[in-house]
Amino acid sequence: MCNFLEYKDTKVIYRRYASLYFITGVDPNDNELITLEIIHRYVEVLDRYFGNVCELDLIFNFNRAYFILDELLIAGEMQESSKRIVLRDITKMDEAEEAEAKEEKK
């Protein structure tokens, strides 16, 4: 089974995790293996954050999934490679949102 497809001037790279497919399109000269590793790292962080991520986690918490992706990548390049730091930043954001919600209720 091949995880790489070429379509017009784009490489389509995908990887399946249980019932989830993660798909990305990259330039023809980008490294496919690095892209697969970035997908894998993203799934690892999602697993740690959600506790065995599933489709419903991504549907109902898509904003969190995008935030995690934003913490990992900037302009298609790896920003932060440490899963621990990404999770720490997400936890801080969650705490700040909870504090803000408590203040709004007052």
Read off the pLDDT of each residue in 8-32 and give the average, rounded to a whole number: 90
Beta bridge partners of 77: 74
Q: Where are the alpha helices (DSSP H) in 1-106?
A: 32-50, 55-60, 62-72, 83-105
CATH 3.40.190.10 for domain 30-105 = no
Q: Is 96 helix (H, G, I), strand (E, B) or coil?
A: helix
* Start-to-end C-alpha separation, the chain: 56
CB atoms within 10 A of CB 88: 12
Structure confidence at residue 47 (pLDDT): 94
Closest CA to 79 of 31, 29, 26, 42: 42
Q: 1 falls in which pLDDT band (50, 70, 90)?
A: low
pLDDT tens for 39-95 read 999 999 999 999 989 999 999 999 999 999 998 888 777 888 888 999 999 999 989
Instruction: Break the chain into its structural domains and give their ranges.
Output: 30-105
The residue-averaged pLDDT of 13-25 equals: 91
